[in-house]
Chains A and B, each alone.
Chain A
Amino acid sequence: MATQTQVAKLKVQRGNKDVGQSLTRMAIRRLRKDTLTLIALFILATLAIASFGAPVISRALNVDFRTNNLDRTFAQIGSVGTNRDGTTAIHLLGTDDLGRDHLSRLLYAGQVSLRVGFLAAILALGIGVSLGIITGYYGGIIDDIVNWVIATLTSIPSLFLLLIVAAILPSAGPETLILVLGFLGWTGTTRLVRGETLSLREREYVISARAVGASPLRIMFTHILPNLFSVIVVTLALDIGGLILAEAGLSYLGLGIKPPTPSWGNMLSNAQDFFVRGIHLVIFPGLMIFITVLCLYVIGDGIRDAFDPTAKD
């Protein structure tokens, strides 16, 4: 009986492409078929390339994101103006209250926001994953202490936590903000990774590795960490989105990135003053945040589904 079922199973499996493929391979194959995630990836990549190619785009349109031009404030979308040196400037998205080109400011702001979100997420992830593995693997007093810190940090409303740090660092640049967001944003990841590690620790291959005398460090790095890959990638995508939102909120309140350095958040700081003369100044910065974060959330969800071993093609 047993052999018959096994043969039947093998026959079924031969037709199944999953056989002999690693989970990562399978996930990539699934992702290639996931149109929504691919679109989100494409949009995000376009935004990132445009942001980091801001100097090129600005030069092509002959505009500058820093130069004030009080003769041309609140120019409308698609208007053409004259620079002080007499050359023609194309303001694809108009100009702001100080006559600066809106599109180039948006793109430079994108550099700041994307960089802050990405690097802070990497930092938070690094702290979160290492603490999660260590506490999950060792347990005991380290676990208790880290859990106490997490309980403390999570019981302070996140924005208040950022506010109190912003109060202490009044003249914070993007680098400080990255550190602050990173050092305060690891708690969720730690909880997640700790839980995963707790279950991975009891798997047979970890026990056998321990039996043959592998050091704890080796077990954590070569046996547990690779199994956390999908969790880490999904968390990274979602964290970048969340941290971009946090940065935008702080900058909007005047406590994150300070002008004249543009960020999507601080470009909206006095948006209420633009309601009559420049609605484009209210719409576009928020739209950029929204699209970026939406893409990241969609990508995160897509990767999670792709790595789900119980999902069917």
Chain B
Amino acid sequence: MIKYTLRRILQAIPTFFGITLFSYLLMTAAPGGPEAALTFDPRITPQQREREAARLGVNDPFIVQYLRWLTGNDWMRWDTDGGTPTILGLEGTPVSNTLTTRDLPDGIADGSVLIPLGLDANGDGDYDDPGDQIYPPGNRYGIIRGDFGRSFFYNRPVMSMIGERVAATLELGIAALVTGLIIGVPVGILAAVRRGGWFDNLTRILAVIFNAIPIFWLALILILIFGARLGWLPMAGRTPRVLEGGIPPIYERIQYLILPTFVLATGAIAVYSRYMRASMLDVISQDYMRTAKSKGLASRAVWFRHGARNALIPLATFLGPAITSLLSGAAITETVFGWPGLGRFGVEAVTAQDFPVVMAVVIIGAVATLLGYMLSDVMYALIDPRIRFD
């Protein structure tokens, strides 16, 4: 089992690098790059702009920039213009076109090359060459250690802003997942037990409808009916507007949770009920079901103790896909309901072109999904031993 889990973790590593590489590629493809966003001031001179670009290291080869973004720069030297830049001890390999022409370090941190600490610009371990200078290390930890930089828009560390919002998303996501299971699983079982009956047909139609309905529109209609017209439920937000000291416990603001949870859960309900029905139908044709029936067990015991419990097993594989669809849905649901979570934060960041925040939200979402897939695979292997030995 440990071996299987380890193998599964190893398999996830290339995907993780794929995600970061893909996100970073897309971000650098953004018009103007990060230096355009930071040097928007029209009074800036070309020299200043170049210096700013050097400080940000945007002229470095892509792979250097990617590695610096991924792993941080606190383990490497931080001033390099002048001398011969070196990548990771590869002597004399120029990595920056614009900076090699200068002769002496100007003492301004630019972080344009990767030089491991303890090596000077020539790759030697000593500092007795003429012009050698001890450079301070950088202060970025890299996204692999949770440092997503500072938000362009708020100028605050992205990680702490994410931390403020993650609880809201978890609250909504877990509520929706639980709702999806509580409604979807029994509906699927009943539909399978009464196969071809009116309940089966009704739930089949409802599942197609739930899949085809745009969730933001469903949200709007529900807000219109229950919020604006009937006034039973609040129209938006996570808490009552007047707040003194923190967020009240969840049971005091359950009315705020009802509509967003239902909207977010519709997809899960539709998927779980159909999946549970199919799984249940598979189980029904098994021999042990016939045995249970023929030995005279009450039909409730047959259906639930022998049927449903076995039909639930494949549901374990659904955690990974469920997390992706919940997060995708959360971006829309949170925006419609003004829910202060990660999804809405991401949408706002896209509108504001706040790339560090967009990156952080996307990567955190992807890693959560990856963990979800891994967890469901391991869970499945735990339940069904055949999987482990393929």
Chain A interface residues (CB < 8 Å from chain B):
148-149, 151-161, 163-168, 170, 241, 245, 248-249, 252-255, 265, 268, 271-272, 275-276, 279, 282-283, 285-286, 289-290, 293-294, 296-298, 301
- Does B209 sit within 8 A of A, measured CB to CB? yes
Apart from A248-B214, A272-B235, A290-B217, list 14 A-B contacts with CB within 8 A: A148-B15, A152-B22, A155-B19, A157-B366, A159-B327, A159-B331, A163-B350, A163-B358, A164-B350, A166-B350, A249-B216, A283-B221, A286-B217, A294-B208
Which of A166, A248, A272 sits near B220, CB closer than 8 Å? A272
17 pairs across A/B with beta carbons < 8 Å?
A149-B18, A151-B15, A155-B19, A155-B366, A156-B362, A158-B324, A159-B331, A160-B327, A160-B328, A163-B358, A164-B358, A170-B353, A248-B214, A272-B223, A275-B228, A286-B217, A290-B212
- Please, which residues of chain B bring their CB within 8 A of the CB of A252? 214, 216, 332
Q: How far is the CA of A3 from the CA of B98 in the complex (A)?
A: 87
Q: Which of B24-32, B38-46, B185-193, B242-250 contacts A (4 or more CB under 8 A)?
A: B24-32
Q: How long is the Cα–Cα vector from A276 to B361 in the complex, in angstroms?
A: 35
Q: Which 10 A-B pairs have the closest CB atoms?
A: A286-B217, A152-B18, A159-B328, A157-B327, A294-B212, A293-B212, A167-B350, A157-B328, A156-B366, A275-B228
Residues of A within 8 Å of B214, CB to CB, are: 245, 248-249, 252, 265, 286, 289-290, 293
Q: Check: B335 CB closer than 8 A to any chain A CB.
A: yes
A170 to B212, CA, bound (A): 28
Contact assessment for B15 and A167 in the assembled complex, using a CB-CB cutoff below 8 Å: no
Complex Cα distance, B23 from A163, in Å, reads 11
Closest to B348 in A: A253
Task: State whether the Cβ of B369 lies closer than 8 Å to any Cβ in chain A.
Answer: yes
Report the Cα distance A164→B223, complex, angstroms: 28
Contact (Cβ within 8 A) B30 A268: no
Query: Does B370 interact with chain A (Cβ within 8 Å)?
Result: yes
B351–A254 CB distance below 8 A? yes
Complex: A152 Cα to B324 Cα, angstroms: 12
B365 interfacial by beta-carbon distance below 8 Å: yes
On whether the beta carbons of A167 and B353 are closer than 8 Å, the reply is: yes
User: A-facing mask of B198-222, CB < 8 A → 1, else 0?
Assistant: 0000000000110111111110110
Asked if B18 and A148 sit within 8 Å, CB to CB, the answer is yes
Query: Is B296 an interface position by the 8 A CB rule?
Result: no
**B224 near A282 (CB under 8 angstroms)?**
yes
Chain B residues within 8 Å of A286, by CB = 214, 217-218, 220-221
Q: Which residue of A lies closest to B349 (CB)?
A: A167
Q: Which residues of A contact B369 (CB under 8 A)?
A: 155-157
Give the residues in chain B near A276, CB-CB below 8 Å.
228
> Do B18 and A160 have beta carbons less than 8 Å apart?
no
B347 within 8 A of A: yes
> In the complex, which residue of chain B has the Cβ closest to the Cβ of A156?
B366
Q: Give the residue among A154, A159, A245 with the most B Cβ atoms within 10 A.
A: A159
> Taking A152-B15, A286-B221 as contacts, is the C-beta distance between A160 and B216 under 8 angstroms?
no
Contacts A160-B362, A163-B347, A167-B358 given; does A294 touch B209 at CB 8 Å: yes
